[in-house]
Amino acid sequence: MKLAAHDHGGDGPPLLLLHGAGGDLSAWETLAPQLNARCVAVDLRGHGRSPDGPWEWDAVLDDLEATTVQFGLSQPIVVGHSLGGALAGMWARRHPDCPAAISLDGHRSGTTNPENYVHYDRLEADLATLTSMFDAQQETITRPSREITDVWRRSPEFADALPVFARVTAPFLLVLATKNLPVPPDLIPLMDAHRAGLRRDLPVVCPNVEVQEIDATHGMVAEQPLEVAAIVNEFIRATA
């Protein structure tokens, strides 16, 4: 499958930019010019101007392989946001010689398994409420297709990408948001418990992963592109 892509150009190592679920390559318009690299952003299959197709993780990675060949990106660094961050980990697992990979707050679904949260009294009820909200939201979305979003929601890699990250041998950075996206006040404890679960589990499950926190929400790429770019540039410089 040939993906829609945009070559931002730039000097430095080749860098492949992967957007989040429901997004497209335009998410990188502000951040890409700030990176010390030659940046190529893509629309993942079923997103933006890329064709539709069944969502299988290996097939999506094959799409990215073809894109790197098309643009002559030899051993690219992969930077992904949200869903793209999980894919960055999968790419690095597939390519042990990858120079580096970076996940921008791509780690676990908001409705991950209950054991991935730090427990509190209303956990199960709040998780059911959030799941219902996502169910209702799914009915209003036309792209990506329901077939794709259904695959995500059943996928263990989407529910929790930490086991994927644990198998990465390349330098890997996870940038963790410290602020919650706007949610009903009753669900703030659930969001806090989600982040607390990550802070608890990352050193145990993924001791190979460097973690940096940023004072932003999950929308960090749009909210703080300059700060995100500085973090990415420094990690690339340090790993080089």
Mind listing the pLDDT tens digit for each residue in 93-119? 999 999 999 999 999 999 999 999 999
What's the CA gap between 90 and 155, in Å, rounded? 14
Mind listing the pLDDT tens digit for each residue in 65-83? 999 999 999 999 999 999 9
What is the percentage of the chain residues whose pLDDT exceeds 90? Answer: 90
Angle at 155 between CA 152 and CA 156, to 5 degrees: 140
Confidence of residue 196 (pLDDT cuts 50, 70, 90): very high
What's the CA gap between 43 and 109, in Å, rounded? 21
Instruction: Locate 100 and state its tokens.
Output: 């580096």
The mean of the pLDDT values for the chain is 95
Residue 220 has pLDDT above 90, yes or no: yes
Residue 101, by phi and psi: left (phi above 0), alpha (psi -120 to 50) or beta?
beta
Question: What domains can be seen in the chain, in order of their start residue?
Answer: 5-239 (3.40.50.1820)
Residue 4 has pLDDT above 90, yes or no: yes
Q: Which residue's entry shows tokens 């060949």?
A: 69
